[in-house]
């Protein structure tokens, strides 16, 4: 069956329908990872977006037991070629079946390189996937321009708190759309990890007497998380060690007077170089974000820049002055992506031990 991807600038790509046959409107973003498509599909940070995979062949090892959350979150999936006969000893099914079960519409057989060039040159834009061959551009384009991602943090967070048992430090993980490997990375280091819903009050977290607090990744515009930002400021004011990733990094900056802004086309993939300014070492990182912190808007007496993106110079991390708090924009838990920066979890462990 034919499918069409319609961008808000009027560009139309024609391909083949994969997954659900329903119509979909969302923000269109691209990911440059060569592997790890299942982890991408199950990353809650993609809620409200459709993902273009720039690697040309997707699905060759099928669906494996590597989900980063309970379900798939993107509203749509866009690929050049879909492998319909996967081969891997861990394979449990095909992407086609997975997309159908998850009710996610997709399109295959389009020129994803041309699509990515459009998104890089014009910036991230909204789009629609439809199987309706009689689509009306005059009717669709206004709808595309009106679409906003909205409050997706409330959509992706857990319903209630739960615990991963451990005999080490107690860590409170704020779930703004956390990937599973964040909790696993802490748990395998011995931490007892309690995962809390995004709108849990700071006082409840503090009253549980954790040795450390983790602020997770998540989707959407950080500036819309007004009530959460107020609670993050209360966590900052406590003397509990804090490590924050991606959206958590942005929320901590906003809680302390910083500003965030939308990137032209974001950073999404497993090959982004970041420099640690404490030692000038460069690490290859996994990233998935469309917003960044403007480090110049933070008072230097509050926070100093700790990491920068080697490609475009944007902020990739902050160290908070006089506080046991550091935050990063990239994903040290990887999944998918390189594990170069996994040492940051060890840094957090050391920070908690020093305070005890």
Instruction: Look at residues 111, 146, 181 and tell me which one is the last residue of a structural domain.
Output: 146
Predicted local distance difference test score (pLDDT) of residue 238: 96
pLDDT value, residue 354: 84
The annotation status of 45 as a binding-site residue, yes or no, is yes
What is the residue whose two structure tokens read 């993609």?
Answer: 46
Confidence grade of residue 344 (pLDDT, cut at 50, 70, 90):
very high
Residue 200: what pLDDT? Answer: 98
In terms of domains, do 119 and 165 share one?
no
Residue 181, domain CATH: 3.40.50.880
* Residue 233 sits in the same domain as residue 283: yes
**Any residues with CB less than 8 A from the CB of 207 and at least 6 apart, and which?**
none
Lowest mean pLDDT segment, chosen from 18-27, 248-257, 282-291, 335-344 = 335-344
Q: How much is the mean pLDDT over the chain? A: 96
Claim to verify: residue 113 and residue 158 sit in the same structural domain: no
Together in a domain, 168 and 245: yes
Residue 290 labeled ligand binder? yes
Q: What does each C-alpha distance from 354 to 180, 215, 232, 324 come to in angstroms?
A: 27, 20, 22, 10
Q: Is 220 annotated as a binding residue?
A: yes
Write out the residue range of the structural domain in which residue 179 sits. Answer: 153-355
Catalytic residue of the set 246, 249, 316, 335: 246
Q: Which of 192, 267, 331, 335 is the catalytic position?
A: 331
Is 162 known to sit in a ligand binding site? no
Q: Is 263 annotated as a binding residue?
A: no
Catalytic residue among 27, 192, 231, 333: 333
Mean pLDDT of 68-79: 97
Residues 199 and 316 in one domain: yes
Q: Is the bond preceding residue 333 a cis peptide, omega within 30 degrees? A: no
Same domain, 242 and 213: yes
Look at residue 341 in the predicted model and tell me its pLDDT. Answer: 87
Domain end: 146, 178, 213, which one? 146
Q: Averaged over 252-275, what is the pLDDT?
A: 97
The closest of 263, 287, 266 to 340, measured between CA atoms, is 287
Query: How distant, in Å, are the alpha carbons of 54, 197, 212, 228, 240 from that of 202?
Result: 40, 11, 13, 9, 11
DSSP 78: E
Q: Does residue 195 share a domain with residue 294?
A: yes
| 247 annotated among ligand-binding-site residues | yes
**What is the percentage of the chain residues whose pLDDT exceeds 90?**
96
Specify the CATH number for the domain of residue 121. Answer: 3.50.30.20
Residues 181, 328 share a domain = yes
Beta-carbon contacts of 350 under 8 Å, excluding residues fewer than 6 positions away, are none
For residue range 125-166, list pLDDT tens digits in order: 999 999 999 999 999 999 999 999 999 999 999 999 999 999
Which of 146, 180, 215 is where one domain is finished? 146
pLDDT at 338: 84
Is 60 a known ligand-binding residue? no
Q: Are 180 and 339 in contact (CB under 8 A)?
A: no
- Tokens describing residue 242: 């804090």
Which residues of the chain form beta strands (DSSP E)? 2-7, 12-19, 24-31, 49-53, 57-58, 76-78, 81-82, 105-108, 125-130, 162-164, 170-175, 192-197, 212-215, 242-245, 259-276, 281-294, 303-309, 315-320, 325-328
* List of E strands, 191-302: 192-197, 212-215, 242-245, 259-276, 281-294
Indicate if the pLDDT at residue 183 is higher than 90: yes
Query: Element (H or E) spanning 109, and its range?
Result: none
131 and 157 in a single domain? The answer is no
What pLDDT shows up at residue 356?
67
If one counts every other C-beta atom within 10 angstroms of the C-beta of residue 308, the result is 20
Question: Among this protein's residues, is 249 annotated catalytic?
Answer: no
- pTM of the complete model: 0.96
Residue 112 has pLDDT above 90, yes or no: yes
Same domain flag for 204 and 328 = yes
Looking at residue 69, what is its pLDDT?
Answer: 96
In this structure, the answer to whether residues 140 and 184 fall within a common structural domain is no
Q: Specify the 3-state DSSP secondary structure of 187.
A: helix
Taking only the tens place, the pLDDT of each residue in 197-224 is: 999 999 999 999 999 999 999 999 999 9
157 in the same domain as 29: no
Q: Which residues, listed in sequence order, are joined to residue 351 by a DSSP beta bridge?
A: none
Task: Please name the helix (run of DSSP H) or strand (run of DSSP E) that holds residue 234, with its range, or none.
Answer: helix 226-237
**In the annotation, is 246 catalytic?**
yes
Q: Smallest Cα–Cα separation from 237: which of 263, 206, 211, 261?
A: 206
How many domains, the chain?
Answer: 2
106 assigned binding-site residue: no
Distance CA 231, CA 264 (A): 29
Interatomic CA distance for residues 287 and 106, integer angstroms = 23
Strand partners, 104: none
């Amino acid at each position: 069956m034919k499918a069409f991807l319609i961008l808000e600038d009027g560009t139309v790509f024609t391909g083949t329908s994969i997954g659900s046959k329903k119509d979909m409107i969302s923000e269109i973003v691209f990911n440059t990872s060569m592997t790890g498509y299942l982890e991408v599909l199950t990353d809650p940070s993609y809620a409200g977006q459709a993902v273009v995979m720039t690697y040309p062949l997707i699905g060759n090892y099928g669906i494996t037991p590597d989900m980063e959350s309970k379900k798939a979150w993107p509203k749509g999936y866009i690929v050049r070629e879909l492998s319909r006969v996967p081969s891997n000893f861990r394979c449990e099914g095909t992407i086609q079946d997975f997309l159908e079960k998850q009710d996610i519409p997709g399109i295959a057989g389009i020129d994803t390189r041309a699509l990515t060039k459009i998104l890089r040159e014009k910036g991230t834009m909204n789009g629609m996937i439809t199987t309706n061959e009689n689509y009306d551009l005059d009717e669709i384009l206004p709808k595309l321009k009106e679409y906003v991602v909205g409050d997706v943090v409330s959509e992706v967070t857990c319903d209630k708190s739960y615990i991963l048992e451990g005999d080490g430090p107690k860590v409170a993980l704020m779930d703004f759309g956390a990937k599973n490997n964040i909790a696993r990375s802490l748990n395998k280091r011995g931490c007892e990890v309690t995962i809390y819903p995004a709108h849990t009050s700071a006082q409840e977290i503090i009253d549980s007497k954790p040795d450390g607090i983790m602020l997770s990744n998540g989707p959407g515009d950080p500036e819309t998380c007004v009530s959460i930002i107020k609670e993050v400021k209360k966590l900052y004011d406590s003397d509990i060690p804090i490590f924050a990733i991606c959206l958590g990094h942005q929320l901590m900056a906003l809680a302390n007077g910083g500003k965030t802004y939308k990137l032209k086309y974001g950073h999404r993939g497993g090959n982004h170089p970041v420099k640690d300014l404490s030692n000038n070492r460069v690490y290859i990182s996994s990233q998935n974000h469309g917003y960044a912190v403007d480090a110049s808007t933070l008072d230097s007496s509050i926070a100093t820049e700790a990491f920068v993106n080697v490609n475009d110079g944007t902020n990739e991390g902050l160290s908070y002055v006089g506080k046991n708090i550091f935050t990063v924009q990239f994903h040290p838990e990887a999944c998918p992506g390189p594990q170069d920066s996994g040492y940051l979890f060890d840094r957090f462990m050391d920070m908690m031990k020093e305070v005890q």
